[in-house]
């Protein structure tokens, strides 16, 4: 079992190339954890990324607080850095206790077909099944219970966690991470209605996942009907995301949990989708487009814009619509009050006519 790492405060200041504001004697303090600013202990290091959280500075017990010059230059236990988010990422890397990989080589309870080709220093866990003609690159780790189909090609330095399933002919680049339960290359959701039943359409394409992609637990990427479904370089996909057949995702996109992309959707470079975003069939999102959580996208979105709502529309228009809806109760009450006044005036008029 790996022991919890500890560092001196001075080591962490040096790691993030920061400037410590407090006394030099503090640099010998032992730091054994990273914690949020509001509940950090005396042996924790924490960070401050936004001014709205500055109120916690006075009460935090942390050994030191990482932040920008603007936010913590006058704080007596501050570590001033140019980019607090990157600094915290570097420190978290040091405190990470990684999951234990399988032992080097092929576990005796794994099944590897004789025609499969494995690179140097590959690790294959128990109950993994590697089908014919599969290839696995150097230093790739295949955890327990993974199924790798016929003709699958996996690059170098990949990590395939427990119970992932890679259907036949899927292609993974280098440094790809698939978390537990990911399914790559299942049949797309394609049917035609004939003779009072749903006639299944064969999907003869595959899935191509480019370098440095990470896919979260229990997400699914369907194979293409004709050509490939493609996940672009450096894209990060959260848990429980559905990527339909023939979807084309550009490089460096980010898809939050429970997003769903219907067939033939196209995302440009650097697109960001919030949680539970749903996108209709064949929709195109331009480069750097942003879609807010729980939005339903039913038309194309131009590059560089932010959309929100169902049906999704440009964010400022969507927010105005939300504001109008929130005023409906007050408007309803006002209309009821005016209706009462009109009724009273009409009654008074009738009394004068018959008086």
Please give the pLDDT value at position 202.
95
Q: Which tens digits make up the pLDDT trace of 231-246?
A: 999 999 999 999 999 9
236 forms bridges with which residues in the sheet? 214, 254
* Domain range for 86: 7-95
Whether residue 50 lies inside any domain: the answer is yes
Q: Which tens digits make up the pLDDT trace of 66-90?
A: 999 999 888 999 999 999 999 999 9
Q: Which tens digits make up the pLDDT trace of 27-76?
A: 999 999 999 998 899 999 999 988 888 888 989 999 999 999 999 888 99
> Could you tell me the pLDDT band of residue 297, with boundaries at 50, 70 and 90?
very high
Check whether residue 256 and residue 274 sit in a common domain. Answer: yes
Whether residue 258 lies inside any domain: the answer is yes
Q: Which tens digits make up the pLDDT trace of 10-33?
A: 999 999 999 999 999 999 999 999
Residues with Cβ within 8 Å of 148's Cβ and at least 6 positions away in sequence, in order, are 128, 129, 130, 131, 134, 136, 142, 154, 160, 166
Task: Quote the pTM value.
Answer: 0.89
Which CATH number do you get for residue 79? Answer: 3.40.1390.10
> Could you tell me the pLDDT band of residue 194, with boundaries at 50, 70 and 90?
very high
Check whether residue 173 and residue 281 sit in a common domain. Answer: yes
- Asked which of 65, 95, 125 is the last residue of a domain, the reply is 95
Q: Which of 38, 143, 245, 354 is catalytic?
A: 245
Please give the pLDDT value at position 60.
92
Please give the pLDDT value at position 187.
95
Q: Tell me whether residue 70 is exposed, middle or buried, using C-beta atoms within 10 angstroms of its C-beta: 0 to 12, 13 to 18, 19 or more.
A: exposed
Which CATH number do you get for residue 304? Answer: 2.160.10.10
Check whether residue 115 and residue 237 sit in a common domain. Answer: yes
Q: Which tens digits make up the pLDDT trace of 155-174?
A: 999 999 999 999 999 999 99
Whether residue 1 lies inside any domain: the answer is no
Check whether residue 339 and residue 225 sit in a common domain. Answer: no
Cβ contact 306:315 at 8 Å? yes
Mean pLDDT of the chain: 94
Residue 245 annotated to the active site: yes
- Asked which of 77, 95, 113 is the last residue of a domain, the reply is 95
Whether residue 2 lies inside any domain: the answer is no
Please give the pLDDT value at position 2.
63
pLDDT over 80 (residue 305): yes
Check whether residue 234 and residue 306 sit in a common domain. Answer: yes
Backbone φ, ψ for residue 80 (5° rounding) = -85, 125
Cα separation, 66 vs 79, in Å, equals 5
Check whether residue 276 and residue 140 sit in a common domain. Answer: yes
> Could you tell me the pLDDT band of residue 355, with boundaries at 50, 70 and 90?
low
Check whether residue 275 and residue 353 sit in a common domain. Answer: no
Please give the pLDDT value at position 98.
87
Indicate the number of domains in the chain: 3
Whether residue 338 lies inside any domain: the answer is yes
Closest by CA to 185, choosing from 213, 146, 149, 222, is 222
Cα separation, 161 vs 145, in Å, equals 9
Cβ contact 272:284 at 8 Å? no
Rg (the chain; Cα; Å): 28
Check whether residue 118 and residue 78 sit in a common domain. Answer: no
253 φψ region: left (φ > 0), alpha (ψ -120 to 50), beta (else): beta
């Amino acid at each position: 079992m790996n022991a919890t790492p500890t560092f001196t405060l001075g080591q962490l200041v040096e790691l993030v190339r920061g400037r410590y504001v407090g006394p030099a004697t503090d640099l010998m303090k032992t730091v054994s954890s990273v914690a949020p600013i509001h509940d950090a202990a005396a042996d924790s290091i924490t960070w401050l990324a936004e001014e709205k959280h500055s109120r916690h500075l006075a009460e935090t017990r942390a050994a030191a607080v990482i932040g920008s010059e603007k936010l913590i230059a006058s704080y007596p236990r501050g570590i001033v850095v140019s980019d607090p988010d990157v600094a915290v990422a570097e420190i978290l890397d040091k405190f990470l206790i990684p999951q234990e990989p399988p032992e080097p080589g092929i576990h005796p309870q794994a099944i590897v077909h004789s025609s499969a080709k494995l690179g140097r220093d590959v690790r294959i866990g128990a109950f993994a099944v590697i089908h014919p003609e599969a290839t696995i690159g150097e230093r790739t780790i295949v955890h327990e219970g993974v199924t790798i189909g016929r003709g699958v090609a996996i690059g170098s330095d990949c990590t395939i966690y427990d119970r992932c399933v890679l259907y036949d002919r899927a292609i993974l680049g280098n440094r790809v991470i698939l978390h537990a339960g990911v399914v790559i290359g299942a049949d797309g959701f394609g049917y035609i209605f004939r003779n009072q039943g749903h006639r299944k359409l064969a999907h003869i394409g595959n899935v191509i996942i480019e370098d440095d992609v990470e896919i979260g637990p229990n997400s699914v990427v369907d194979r293409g009907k004709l050509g490939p479904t493609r996940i672009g370089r450096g894209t990060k996909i959260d848990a429980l995301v559905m990527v339909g057949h023939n979807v084309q995702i550009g490089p460096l996109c980010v898809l939050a949990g429970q997003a769903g992309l219907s067939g033939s959707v196209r995302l440009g470079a650097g697109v960001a989708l919030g949680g539970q975003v749903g996108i209709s069939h064949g929709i195109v999102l331009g480069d750097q487009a942003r879609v807010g959580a729980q939005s339903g996208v039913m038309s194309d979105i131009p590059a560089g814009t932010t959309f929100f709502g169902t049906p999704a529309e440009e964010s400022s228009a969507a927010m105005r619509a939300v504001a109008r809806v929130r005023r409906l109760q007050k408007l309803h009450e006002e209309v009821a009050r005016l209706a009462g006044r009109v009724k009273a005036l009409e009654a008074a008029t009738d009394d004068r006519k018959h008086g």
